[in-house]
């Protein structure tokens, strides 16, 4: 992997990740951009203990642009021999005319400065592709980029937790159709992770030192009904108390706290396993159905908690589609009281995910 860091016209960092070492990245951003001005602020909820990012500047972010105006596609030089739009240069967020993977600072970040950092990860230059369309080599390059960004962002003084994720589909709320994900570098431990850490500590005390993550994975493997993929270095299963209609948790066999600690064998096997999961998600509801909307989220240990080695890196993949043409909405119980009601039994979800395995 070759990494090339540069700056956009407004000073934001942009990084190319290329599979070939001989690629030269010397394109400049010619756009007349003003420096990014953000108003991100972290406020604490005194009743719940949660933190909320107030980011009013995001109201003006790009919203469902046409494909020929996508800010995540490569830039296009002017073609003197063409007519119409093709004759005019088009400058996007990526100055290059092609790329493998690009990471850049979000122009409309939820977190900025002392409140953290937000980055965009473009998985491919192909606007009409999805992560599931990537080759295993391309997916391996994405994993390498996630690991590199985790290492870099962890060095920032304000950062406490690094979160790599992908939102896919308009139903999820995605405003740009180009295949991409994001990375949030939080200046605090997120509420969901804090609850995991509390459960981890309580289980350790209750069982005389046993690890909760290890026991959860072992119990799922022993039960077997909710296991979706049982590979040499990764295990994927629908959790016993799944919140979402179709939800899969993916764990490396060897417990590690973060992406940086993944062993070589697990890194090598990950592309095959993860691409298979994504392709199964797209087959869940039968032929002719639109691509399945999903959230794919890496859970990594916070940086300064005690006993962070006890935390287990894992990926949580879920969709809000519960059946053909119907979505799972968060209504009164979920939104008002955080008590989820799942219409799809986890055992049935796992069975369906096994049925749609690649042949």
CA distance 166 to 151: 19
pLDDT of residue 87: 54
Q: What's the farthest any 2 CA atoms get from each other in the chain? A: 75
Q: Give the count of alpha carbons within 13 A of 252, CB side only.
A: 24
pLDDT of residue 59: 81
Q: Per the structure block, which two tokens stand in for 122?
A: 């473009």
CA distance 244 to 204: 27
* Residue 273 per-residue DSSP state: H
Contact by Cβ (8 Å): 347, 225: yes
CA distance 220 to 235: 9
The angle formed by the CA atoms of residues 47, 52 and 56, to the nearest 5 degrees, is 135
What residues form DSSP beta bridges with 317?
248, 296
Q: Per the structure block, which two tokens stand in for 125?
A: 């230059």
User: Cα separations (Å) of 352 from 106, 225, 334?
Assistant: 37, 11, 25
Helices 212-223 and 191-207: crossing angle, nearest 10°? 80
Contact by Cβ (8 Å): 191, 50: yes
Answer yes or no: CATH 3.30.428.10 is held by domain 191-355: yes
CA distance 253 to 232: 8
Contact by Cβ (8 Å): 186, 336: no
**Thinking of the domain 2-186, which architecture would CATH place it in?**
2-Layer Sandwich (3.30)
Annotated active-site residue in 180, 233, 249, 314 = 180
Structure-derived torsion over alpha carbons of residues 215, 216, 217, 219, reported in degrees to the nearest 10? 80
Catalytic residue list contains 180? yes
Contact by Cβ (8 Å): 101, 94: no
Q: Per the structure block, which two tokens stand in for 70?
A: 């996508």
Q: For 112-140, give the DSSP string.
A: -GGG-EEEEEE--S-TT--GGGS-HHHHH
pLDDT of residue 71: 96
Rounded to a whole number of angstroms, the distance between the first and last alpha carbons of the chain is: 31
Per-residue pLDDT of the chain (359 residues; tens, 9 = 90+): 999 999 999 999 999 999 999 999 999 999 999 888 887 899 999 999 999 999 888 887 887 899 889 999 999 987 766 655 555 688 999 999 999 999 999 999 999 888 899 999 999 999 999 999 999 999 999 999 999 999 999 999 999 999 999 999 999 999 999 999 999 999 999 999 999 999 999 999 999 999 999 999 999 999 999 999 999 999 999 999 999 999 999 999 999 999 999 999 999 999 999 999 999 999 999 988 999 999 999 999 999 999 999 999 999 999 999 999 999 999 999 999 999 999 999 999 999 999 999 97
Which residues make up the CATH 3.30.428.10 domain(s) of the chain?
2-186, 191-355
CA nearest neighbour of 72 among 117, 37, 106: 106
């Amino acid at each position: 992997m070759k990494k090339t860091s540069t700056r956009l016209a407004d000073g934001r960092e942009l990084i190319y990740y290329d599979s070939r070492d001989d690629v030269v990245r010397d394109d400049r951003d010619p756009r007349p951009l003003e420096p990014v001005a953000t108003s991100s602020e972290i406020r604490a909820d005194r009743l719940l203990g949660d933190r909320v990012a107030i980011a009013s500047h995001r109201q003006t972010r790009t919203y469902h642009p046409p494909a020929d105006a996508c800010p995540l596609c490569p830039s296009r030089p002017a073609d003197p021999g063409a007519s119409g739009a093709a004759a005019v240069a088009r400058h996007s967020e990526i100055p290059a005319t092609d790329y493998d993977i690009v990471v850049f600072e979000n122009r409309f970040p939820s977190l900025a400065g002392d409140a953290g950092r937000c980055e965009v990860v473009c998985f491919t230059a192909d606007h009409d592709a999805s992560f599931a369309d990537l080759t295993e080599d391309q997916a391996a390059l994405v994993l390498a980029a996630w690991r590199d960004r985790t290492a870099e962002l962890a060095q920032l003084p304000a950062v406490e937790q690094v979160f790599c994720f992908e939102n896919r589909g308009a139903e999820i709320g995605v405003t740009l159709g180009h295949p991409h994900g994001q990375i949030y570098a939080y200046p605090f431990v997120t509420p969901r992770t804090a609850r995991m850490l509390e459960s981890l500590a309580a289980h350790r005390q209750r069982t005389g030192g046993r690890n909760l993550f290890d026991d959860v994975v072992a119990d799922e493997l022993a039960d077997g009904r909710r296991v979706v993929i049982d590979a040499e270095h990764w295990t994927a299963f629908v959790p016993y108390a799944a919140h979402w209609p179709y939800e899969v948790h993916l764990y490396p066999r060897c417990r590690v706290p973060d992406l940086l600690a993944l062993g070589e064998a697990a890194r090598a096997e990950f592309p095959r396993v993860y691409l298979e999961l994504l392709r199964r998600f797209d087959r869940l509801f039968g032929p002719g159905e639109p691509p399945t909307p999903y959230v794919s989220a890496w859970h990594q240990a916070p940086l300064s908690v005690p006993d962070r080695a006890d935390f287990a890196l894992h990926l949580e993949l879920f969709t809000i589609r519960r059946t053909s043409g119907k979505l799972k909405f968060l209504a009164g119980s979920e939104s008002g009281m955080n008590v989820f009601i799942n219409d799809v039994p986890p055992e049935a979800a796992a069975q369906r995910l096994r049925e749609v395995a690649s042949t």
